[in-house]
């Protein structure tokens, strides 16, 4: 039976970024050198955008691979043990996911790895590690003022409702394997194996 989860008090505290290519296609992995900076006023928008896909999903358990140093469980545990490690662990998580991308159908994409505080599960406030990947960028138009005149530019970016894959790992019942929520718009839930 699923334990009720409440996202109303949740708030993103840190974000690390990466561009994850497909090594089979010769595409690189690029990771951010610093944590992403965002205004406090943007935190609510980022939090809701990142968490929307996980609402009303059934939880899974993240496998405990105690004999493997390079595992998502171990990287997650290090983040939960010391949240100030997010940048370093995000690089390891990105490398781990990149190393699992040897399939011709895997698309390159933008990866956001964030630490989210204040998720309520079984009456407890817990942190969560959120990993989302956007493989398709959406074009949008922006009107800007330049030298007293208006210009129109086309840009491409991540539309919050168009995130392709995601994993939300809650720091809850770690001894049984963290509680994890997965989504993939293509219907595959094995993308983290």
Tens-digit pLDDT profile for residues 13-71: 999 999 999 898 889 999 999 999 888 888 888 898 889 888 878 888 877 665 566 68
Does 55 reside within a domain?
yes
Q: Supply the range of the domain harboring residue 20.
A: 5-135+161-184
Does 75 reside within a domain?
yes
What is the count of structural domains for the chain? Answer: 1
pTM: 0.85
% pLDDT > 90, the chain:
35
Q: What tokens were used for 51? A: 């968490």
pLDDT at 115: 95
pLDDT at 113: 96
In terms of residues, how long is the chain? 193
168-190 pLDDT, tens digit each: 999 998 888 888 999 888 765 55
Q: Across residues 62-88, what is the average pLDDT?
A: 81
Does 149 reside within a domain?
no
pLDDT at 66: 57
Does 98 reside within a domain?
yes
Where is pLDDT greater, at 191 or 152? 152
% pLDDT > 70, the chain:
90
> Torsions phi, psi of 162, nearest 5?
-110, 20
Picking from 32, 125, 12, the residue whose alpha carbon sits closest to that of residue 87 is: 32
Task: Inform me whether the pLDDT recorded for 88 exceeds 80.
Answer: yes
In terms of average pLDDT, the best of 6-10, 99-103, 162-166 is: 6-10
- Helices 86-99 and 72-81: crossing angle, nearest 10°? 170
With b for 16 or more beta-carbon neighbours within 10 A and e for fewer, the 62-89 pattern comes to bebeeeeeebbbbbbbbbbeeeeebbeb
């Amino acid at each position: 039976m699923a334990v009720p989860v409440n996202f109303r008090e949740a708030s993103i505290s840190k974000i690390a970024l990466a561009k994850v290519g497909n090594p089979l296609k010769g595409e690189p992995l690029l990771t951010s050198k610093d944590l992403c900076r965002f205004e406090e006023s943007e935190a609510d928008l980022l939090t809701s955008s990142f968490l929307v896909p996980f609402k009303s999903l059934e939880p899974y358990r993240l496998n405990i691979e105690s004999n493997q140093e390079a595992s998502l469980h171990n990287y997650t545990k290090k983040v939960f043990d010391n949240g100030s490690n997010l940048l370093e662990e995000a690089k390891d998580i990105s490398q781990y996911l990149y190393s699992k991308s040897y399939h011709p159908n895997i698309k390159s994409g933008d990866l956001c790895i964030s630490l989210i505080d204040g998720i309520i599960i079984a009456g407890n406030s817990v942190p969560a590690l959120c990993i989302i990947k956007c493989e398709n960028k959406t074009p949008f138009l922006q009107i800007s003022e330049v030298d007293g005149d208006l210009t129109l530019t086309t840009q491409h970016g991540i539309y919050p409702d168009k995130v392709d894959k995601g994993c939300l790992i809650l720091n809850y019942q770690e001894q049984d394997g963290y509680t994890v929520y997965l989504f993939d718009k293509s219907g595959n839930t094995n993308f983290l194996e």
